[in-house]
């Protein structure tokens, strides 16, 4: 599971940099494609190995739209909890949507327009999860032999 924790953390970082670069560039017509993320995000994305995978195994036979709703609510709950905890620990949530003036901000930690984004990401991660489960034994064996 720790190998997948690291892979999800790294994948989340990369995905967030690409997402912020492309969306901000389109909105602001800034073609430098500047993408950002936070060090806090690595363990948050890594939590997919702990929380996402068991839920995916439980709901994989549900219709796609039910899974999409579950992913949206689950990711939103994690974003809310993580943002709140980081704000309590550090004094400010790094993705404070209210301070950034984001139009669909519900509070500093979550946004209405991300409900669809989280649903899509949750569905897109399903085959990724299955693939990572398939390749984890080979990675573990390679690390033991290294």
Q: Is the pLDDT of residue 133 over 80?
A: yes
Q: Residues of the chain with pLDDT > 90: what percent? A: 87
pLDDT at 24: 81
In whole angstroms, how far apart are CA 24 and each of 36, 41, 111, 118? 10, 19, 16, 18
Contact 68, 110 (CB under 8 A): no
pLDDT of residue 30: 82
Residue 57 CA to residue 32 CA, distance in Å, equals 40
Q: If you ran DSSP here, which 8-state letter would residue 17 be given?
A: H
Low-confidence winner among 20-29, 36-45, 56-65, 109-118 (lowest mean pLDDT): 20-29
Distance from the first to the final alpha carbon of the chain? 19
Percent of residues, the chain, with pLDDT higher than 70: 99
Angle at 40 between CA 39 and CA 45, to 5 degrees: 105
Report the SS3 class of residue 100. Answer: coil
pLDDT at 146 exceeding the cut of 70 = no
- Residue 26, pLDDT above cutoff 90: no
Q: According to the model, what pLDDT value does residue 126 have?
A: 98
């Amino acid at each position: 599971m720790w190998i997948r924790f690291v892979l999800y953390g790294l994948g989340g970082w990369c995905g967030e940099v690409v997402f912020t670069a492309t969306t901000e560039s389109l909105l602001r017509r800034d073609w430098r494609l500047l993408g950002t993320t936070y060090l806090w995000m690595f363990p948050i994305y890594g939590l997919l190995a702990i929380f996402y995978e068991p839920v995916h195994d439980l709901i994989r036979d549900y219709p796609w739209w039910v899974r999409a709703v579950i992913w949206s609510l689950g990711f939103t709950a994690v974003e809310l909890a993580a943002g709140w905890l980081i704000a309590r620990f550090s004094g400010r949530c790094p993705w404070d949507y209210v301070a950034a003036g984001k139009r669909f901000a519900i509070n500093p930690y979550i946004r209405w327009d991300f409900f669809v984004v989280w649903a899509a990401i949750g569905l897109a991660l399903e085959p990724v999860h299955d693939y990572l489960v398939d390749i984890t034994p080979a990675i573990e064996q390679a690390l033991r032999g290294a």
